[in-house]
A and B are shown apart, each in its own frame.
Chain A
Amino acid sequence: MATATAEPRSVPATEGDGHKHKKNALSDGQGRLAWILLAPTLIVILVVAGIPVIMSLRESLFQTNTGVDPNTGLIAGGEKFVGLGNYTNIFKGGDIVQGSYGSMDRFWNAFLNTTFITIVCVILETVIGVAMALIMAKAFRGRALVRAGILVPWAIPTIVSALMWKLIFDANGVMNKIIGKQILWLADTGASFWAIVVADTWKTAAFIGLLTLAGLQTIPAEVYEAAKVDGATTWQQFVRITLPMVKPTLVVAVLFRTLDTLRMFDLPYGMIGPGKYRVETLSIFSYQEAAQTRYGPAAAYAVVLFIYVLLVAFLFVRVLGADVIGDADAPKKKRRKKTEPPSEEAAIETAIGEGIGGAH
């Protein structure tokens, strides 16, 4: 009796020894079950994301008919196939606007705005976020309080924070009072760009800080003790230990922030307003076009943004080695270096879960 019950337990244990993956009585050979369980989610994703993206690709090859139909004399409805016309129009410069980068096509203006807002914001957020994480990691007490405080900007709806900063940056607002100048932050000037940067950095730097802190906490204290014994300075410890070991977490956090900033919409829309060329992002431009029933160009600009985002994500994964999947079971995946603690993987995954959480 006793041996009969004991046997099934001991079998997986002995088989598991020496193998990369432990045999799992629960899961082995249950591929079909897995697909059944995944099917509802995959179908929902296909319906709410996959099909609309394909529809958008199709839409970007069409234009809404305008004017009078020559055959019937009525106002034309429907749409016509224009091939890549919506894309090639980007290069024709039919809609010249005056932005921060001189006069150029509205698309390129929005493209440059998107790019520069992203670069400046992400750099600032990373520097401030890492500094925050280092301070929090040093703290003995009060860490919970700081963490709660840090979550405040994250929890505020972006549109509410946009209106909040609109009040702060008002020409007669508190920001101008503090710096003692009369800057027209909200009037579609060069200053509007920086107002957006400040507002976005405020909302999301803390978030990078939280993720980085999670990464920092996986670094064993022994490593620092060993470094101290070897006479490493604080700066050397930071550059040679902290940064390399926190890099996997940080790269993923920065990747998510970059992709999130590239699709920025709420903040410039709520703070400066739609149709302001100094801060018009690709998302706002596309939205404006769609709202005026120019679905074809709107879809084309959204597709370009989509490709841009994919490209940036690809570069992050390939060049910086962002481990976005972080799946320990994945057989094809390159194994982590042995020097890194095994708990790190789980921490990163949780961090990634958080990462998407901050995105919206």
Chain B
Amino acid sequence: MSTTAADVREEHLSKEEVEKLAHPKRPARQRLGVVASYVGMGFIVLYCIIPFYWMVVSSLRLPSEGLSTEFIPNPASVENFKAVFSPVNNFGRSLINSVIVAGTATILTLIFGIIAAYALARLRFRGKVLVLWLIMACSMFPIIILIPPLLKLFSSTEPFTWFPYWVNTYQAVILPSLSFALPLAVWNLTAFFKQLPVELEQAAMVDGCTPGVAFRKVILPLAAPGVFTTAIIVFIGAWNEFLVALTFLQDKNMQTATVAISKFTGTTGFDTPYGTIMAAGVVVTVPLILAVLVFQRRIVAGLTAGGVK
């Protein structure tokens, strides 16, 4: 009875009415919501970009107009960038130092991290929770606690006169960097390895692979995006590190870029050479931002890696 009633009603609908029903009308409120979300997104982007824009703009002014508040540099100039790489500032050397320090830390971290993360993601053993807590705790503690004893140790102060003088060496910065880089890498990689189904390795082993070969030929290639992402995050962390480098790298030829920027002085000695500092900031930051654009796509892939299932 009821079905026939519905049928009858349907027959009475005109073509336009059917079309109208097929396109559900968006209520005004919802459309307002869409507009609001675009406005909100605009705000977010501006919020994030404007201070950075100010740094870029300030780097493109004449060195004498470091404190100008015009929103477009007038006249535009690359003098500041020339000043950054002038022999006085020796910034090229600092960049090389940063690459050496951050690169070595990243490579060491990945080697140790991949092995440990595989064990944490795949193997079941007593004490795992303890290990996880230990690694987590290690990433949380304030890095400043390393500074007093290590400064004493690396500068061969009594009672550590037996220790080689390590101030102004790369290892003095790389080793403490591992204390935050390694937990970070292990944590990230464990998450990525866990997203890969264990069945893949089982299938490889059924086909005659040893666990080691299954890891190398099956898991590692699949986890490559995760390893790559981790490498970028660790590299950025080590590249941006300031406190340890500031403490142990006092020689101008050994300073990393972040320390060098913090120590830029003007030719007159008293005024802050904002233009040069901003130019150096742009030089240090732009490669990271380019890397982050790549990394951003990777992390989306990482988050959706569960799709392999």
Contact = CB atoms under 8 A, between A and B. Distances in A.
Contacts of B211: 26
Contacts of A21: 124
B167 interface: no
Q: In this complex, which of B126, B157, B187 has the most chain A Cβ atoms within 10 angstroms of its Cβ?
A: B187
Given A77-B158, A149-B49, A309 B124 contact: no
A74 interface: no
B141 A157 contact: no
Contacts of A293: 157
Q: In this complex, which of A31, A270, A282, A350 has the most chain B Cβ atoms within 10 angstroms of its Cβ?
A: A350
Given A349-B190, A352-B191, A359-B139, A287 B247 contact: yes
Interface stretch (B5-13, B18-26, B79-87, B231-239): B231-239
B162 interface: no
A53 B236 contact: no
A146 B119 contact: no
B285 to A, nearest CB: 5
A146 B41 contact: yes
State the main secondary structure of chain B at its contact with A.
Answer: helix
B144 A287 contact: yes
Q: Looking at chain B, what size class is its interface with the partner chain?
A: 35 or more
A266 B190 CA distance: 30
Contacts of B184: 353, 356-357, 359
Given A8-B206, A41-B115, A287-B144, A150 B48 contact: yes
B241 to A, nearest CB: 6
Nearest to A45: B138
Q: Looking at chain A, what size class is its interface with the partner chain?
A: 35 or more
A337 B157 CA distance: 55
A142 interface: yes
B142 A25 contact: no
A290 B147 contact: yes
A29 B261 CA distance: 53
A319 interface: no
B162 to A, nearest CB: 14
Contact of B146 (A49, A138, A357): A49
A24 B151 contact: no
A306 B44 contact: no
B181 to A, nearest CB: 8
Interface in A173-218: 173-174, 177, 202, 206, 209, 214
A295 B124 contact: no
A59 B52 contact: no
B164 interface: no
A157 B116 contact: no
A20 interface: no
A305 B136 contact: no
Contacts of B158: 77-79
B144 A305 contact: yes
Contact of B145 (A52, A78, A138, A327): A52
Interface in B51-102: 51-52, 54-55, 58, 66-67, 69
Q: In this complex, which of A136, A313, A324 has the most chain B Cβ atoms within 10 angstroms of its Cβ?
A: A324
A42 interface: yes
A295 B151 contact: yes
A158 B33 CA distance: 35
Interface string A323-360: 01101111011000000000100110110111011011
B34 A140 contact: yes
Contacts of A85: none
Contacts of A56: 145-146, 148-149
A330 B128 contact: yes
Contact of B67 (A33, A45, A173, A266): A173
A254 B45 CA distance: 22
B68 to A, nearest CB: 9
Given A40-B115, A45-B182, A359-B139, A24 B124 contact: yes
A283 B243 contact: yes
Nearest to B98: A157
Contacts of A299: 145, 148-149
Interface in B211-243: 211, 230, 233, 236-237, 239-243
B142 A262 contact: yes
Contacts of A168: 51, 54
A290 B247 contact: yes
Q: In this complex, which of B126, B138, B206, B295 has the most chain A Cβ atoms within 10 angstroms of its Cβ?
A: B138
Contacts of B118: 37
- CB-CB nearest 5 A-B residue pairs: A55-B149, A263-B142, A353-B188, A31-B125, A135-B40
